[in-house]
Structure formats: C-alpha cells, structure tokens
Structure 1
Amino acid sequence: MENTEVPSGSRTRSYSSLTQEERRNMMIEQLLARYPDTEHDPAFPNNPRIISTPDDSKTSQAEDTPEDRIGNTHWCHCECCIPMATQIESVCCREIHQVEGCIPECGKCITCADMFISQIATQEHVQLTSLAMHLDELPVVDANNNRRLRKTAYRLFMAWIYGYLGKGNRRVIPSCAVKVVRDVFPDPNGSYVGFLYSDDYDASEMAFH
C-alpha cells in the first residue's frame, strides 16, 4: 500500500504507521472539515405537514368535545339517528367513509340499502344466521334471545361493511343502524349495552349488544 502523508499533525509519520485509533481520529477530522458547523441548524428547516385524505373528513366526532353529541342528534346527516348514551356511539352513517360508500345513490341512510333491509333488518334471516352460528334450537323469543339476535345482526353489519377485521378489532356501528336493529329485536326493559372495546369485558363476549 502506498504511504500517505498525515494531513495534520506530524509530517514525519506515514499513514501505515498510525494506530487504528489515530487513523479513526484523522478520518473524523477530515469529514468534519468538509461540512460547516450545523450545531444551530434546525433538523427540519421546512417542517413536513400531514396531507389530509378523504378519510380525514370522516373521523366523525373526533373534533367535538365529549358533551357535544351526547343526548342529541344535531350531528346526524341522514335524519335517522337517535340520541346515544356515549360520545363514541354518537355517529351517523354518513360520517364513516366505509359505511357511506354502501349507501345507495337515491338513499339518504345506510338503513335504506337493500342489503341492510334483507340481511340485517329481517328477523327471519338474522334468526337463521344465529341458529347456524350457535348450532342450537331456536329458543322462545325473550330478552336474552333478542340480545343474542342483536349481536348477530351487528356482526352481519360489520361483515357487510368491513369484511374480516380480526379478533379484538372493533368498529362503531352508526346510530341509525343501531336504532333499526333495536326496533327489530327490542329489549322489553329498554336496557341496552352500548359499544365496548375488546378489553372492557370477557373475551368470550362481543363488543356490540
């Protein structure tokens, strides 16, 4: 290897005679000499901005304060929603991008879609689906049975809109759809359990009731 003069320091020592640590320090000095001092330079002179997408406008109640939607329907765009007990459940079908995409052109609400009417709001179909899912005889219609049928209807809705989501992956069902399901499968005492996250209850339970 051809000997190289040390650019700084002793001129009498060749590059090959330097220790590994000396060579490393020399390389660092050379690299630093190539660039100006950046100690006070900002990491991002022009801060990057998040580009909004169509989905960003469909985040429903994210911009509202917790009390904005509870107990009222001023946030409803389809004119079919009902007041809900919590902020997260107070969402209209036209505020969820995936749901809005399934609303028929001539309709104003997801509950007007043929698929919703025939598969989710039809008692016989939901009962048959529940029977197939649970592999037992159809019990007499009572509060407990209707609770199970509501859960089945909600699962049908989720499968229709989102397909397979995976275990523990929850989505809120719009208030208008919840209203129809509760009308078809009512609780005699008007007692309903709303949206729950997967870690809010037993893993064997579902997030919608």
Structure 2
Amino acid sequence: MLQKMSSVQPFQFEPEHEISEDENIEDVQYQINQNEDDRKVYEVRVGQNGWCLCGYCLPMLTGKESVCCKELQFFAVAVPDIPCITAHTSFEAVCLNRDVLWAALVSLHDRESADLSYRYASYRQFTWWMHVIRIRNIYSEPDGIYAGFEDVDIDYTEIDQAWRDW
C-alpha cells in the first residue's frame, strides 16, 4: 500500500552554475577566488568533525565532502525544526529506497546514445500509460483540466521550473 508523502520535495539539490553573457570577467574571477577560499576552509575540516552543526556528521576524506546539512541554506530554511536531514520523515523514502534511487538514475541518463534515448522515451511512455490516473488522483487540479504528456524541452526542464518555484 502506497502512502501519501506530502512532505516529499523533488529536486532538492543545487544546480551547477553556468556563466551567462551578462557576467563580466571580474565577477567570474571573484567567483573563482571565492571557490578557492571555500576549498581551503573545507580542507581544514578533513579527518575531524568539529565543524558539524547537526551532531551526526562523520569525519570525511576530502574537504568537499565535509559539509553539514545545517550549512545548506535551503535545508536551514525549509526544515529548521529538525536536527539533521537524516531525521526528516522523507529521508529514507527519497534517499534510501532502492526503487526511488533506480528511478532517479534512469532520469539522469546520458542522452548521447540512441539506445539510451529510445529507452528514455519508452520509460516515459510506460509511466504515462500506466500511472497517469494514480498521479492525477494524488496531485489533482481543482478544475480537472490537465496539460497531458509534454515532450522535454532540452533548454528548459522540470528542474528549471522546480528552482523557479522554490
């Protein structure tokens, strides 16, 4: 029996920054210097966990891995009342459930191969064909009008929209 998980929020990761035409060289250089400074700060954390704010972090092998969930702005704002992201009610379902992880891997495949592209289309068609009614029952529109299946716009994806909605 599936349970309704109203607190699950998709796309909870930080997108990679792409340099736009509007940014000038000084801004880019500042960002590079800032990233190097951040890297130095995090390298000091290697092998110990005195930097941990939630009390659940383990010493890591690299500075890049040595970040506490409480340092992530979206986490601190979204769920300030829980001690650690691992205590969130949806953590196990979203981050540990093998079926969810498999679905996430499928959606992140490399589209350069024809076989992968066909497989991607097949997965989307299968999902649309099998689960549209169940999805609409759980996430219904008040007026009952739905857009239907839409092809993915490579320049603008659901991830872009999720970040705009955040």
Query: What TM-score do the two structures reach when normalised by structure 1?
Result: 0.31
Higher Rg: 1
Higher helix share: 2
